Structure 1
């Protein structure tokens, strides 16, 4: 291979790597904007409460919800959830409002896991309940590796690696699309469920961290191009050009 071909291959590799780094920086900026937009909706969401059915008519918005209904069989524990530095699981049940056939996944809160990772026992939920909280997008799934749900030794209990509402709907015998991608975050003041708050970005990066990572990726893309230019300049000097 001639030197010219080697330099051309080097430039192609440098441009590909720089493009990848720039794409990753742009993706981080997109995640930052999405999370900023989500957080900016919270003050407006607290102004007035609507039913689950009304809130689902505007799925892109965070809405304060008050509704009454019952819980359907089946529990999902979302694994690898940190709270105040402790490892645990977040508990989800499907809530069926009394006035609409559209059910919604409800976040009952967080429970710790012991060192042997034995799953905690859960209190039964029977009868009707009045619930209130924030209807918001489900936690981001991240990179999907392996099945979303794994059956446990306890009946009607699944351990989740990510919150995939469609996989949950299928496991519970519901048709595709019958379980929306939004999750009802239960008001901590209610005497129901477990440890919780209304933080819409639990176990995930805040917008400022995404901005920091975006700057790093863009800087790495620029560094690759600068190195390629320096190597090209040195090669031209050696060749007397």
Structure 2
């Protein structure tokens, strides 16, 4: 039978285990702080968006419009270059996001998400174009799926320009109000502050468990 580890070796292993566990506790605590900070930032963003969206629409006929500001576009719709984003779900039903380009007076293009529609024949755009400008949406795409006619899986400025033979869009926007049955999308963070608070509680719960284990291990392994 081999000789058991000596007391100094056991003490060294004990110290190493306690240090590793303490590091894990510190990491989970810091992760909770990070999620708490993200919840705070998201709440500030929501409040800023609400203030911006409450402003009167700003007339806009050239150049790149400011983000998250209601604007009244001046120019013309380009229905011949309208596209549909496939497999978009609304209230459990699969349909399409209707994306219609709008050409400003200086010929720059704004892509406008007019809302959700259940089939491939959405109504025409109304004469008015009061929109809320947005950051370009980020899509997760597993493959470079080619469009089928005017139906796309995802879209970005370069892909739209290559398909439509128009200049690359300078901005992306959402219709501020619904039109003829289209269900308008709204500009809210993908992950709300409450979700981050839930993550904070989870990380800090792990920290508390770690502290409990650290104390118990320290007591039960005294040499």
Q: So what's the TM-score if we normalise by structure 1?
A: 0.69
1:183 to 169, 173, 180: 173
Q: Which has the higher strand share?
A: 1
1:90 to 69, 94, 97: 97
User: Which residue does the alignment assign to 2:160?
Assistant: 168
User: Which residue does the alignment assign to 1:104?
Assistant: 110
2:200 to 212, 218, 225: 218
Mapping of 1:224-239 within 5 angstroms?
224-239=206-221
Cα deviation, residue 106, structure 1: 1.6
Q: So what's the TM-score if we normalise by structure 2?
A: 0.73
| Per-residue deviation, residues 157-176 of structure 1 (Å, max 9, x unmatched) | 3222xx5445434554566x
Mapping of 1:14-163 within 5 angstroms?
14-44=25-55, 47-53=56-62, 56-57=64-65, 59-71=66-78, 73-97=80-104, 99-112=105-118, 120-121=120-121, 130-138=127-135, 140-141=137-138, 144-147=140-143, 150-154=145-149, 156-160=150-154
Give the secondary-structure state (helix, strand or coil) at the position aligned to 2:78: strand
Report the RMSD for the aligned CA atoms in angstroms.
Answer: 3.4
Alpha-carbon distance in 1 for matches of 2:166, 2:32: 41
Alpha-carbon distance in 2 for matches of 1:172, 1:20: 45
Distance 1:10 1:210, change over 3 A: same
Distance 1:11 1:171, change over 3 A: farther
Task: State the structure with more CA Rg.
Answer: 2
Give the secondary-structure state (helix, strand or coil) at the position aligned to 1:107: strand
User: How many matched pairs?
Assistant: 212
| Per-residue deviation, residues 105-145 of structure 1 (Å, max 9, x unmatched) | 022332115xxxxxx246788xxx74321232147426x34
Distance 1:167 1:37, change over 3 A: farther
Distance 1:211 1:108, change over 3 A: closer
Cα deviation, residue 227, structure 1: 1.6
Are the equivalent residues in 2 in contact too, given 1:51–1:67 (CA < 8 A)? yes
Distance 1:223 1:108, change over 3 A: closer
Are the equivalent residues in 1 in contact too, given 2:81–2:164 (CA < 8 A)? yes
Alpha-carbon distance in 2 for matches of 1:145, 1:151: 12
Unaligned runs of 5+ in 2: 1-11
Mapping of 1:194-209 within 5 angstroms?
195-197=182-184, 199-201=185-187
Cα deviation, residue 237, structure 1: 1.8
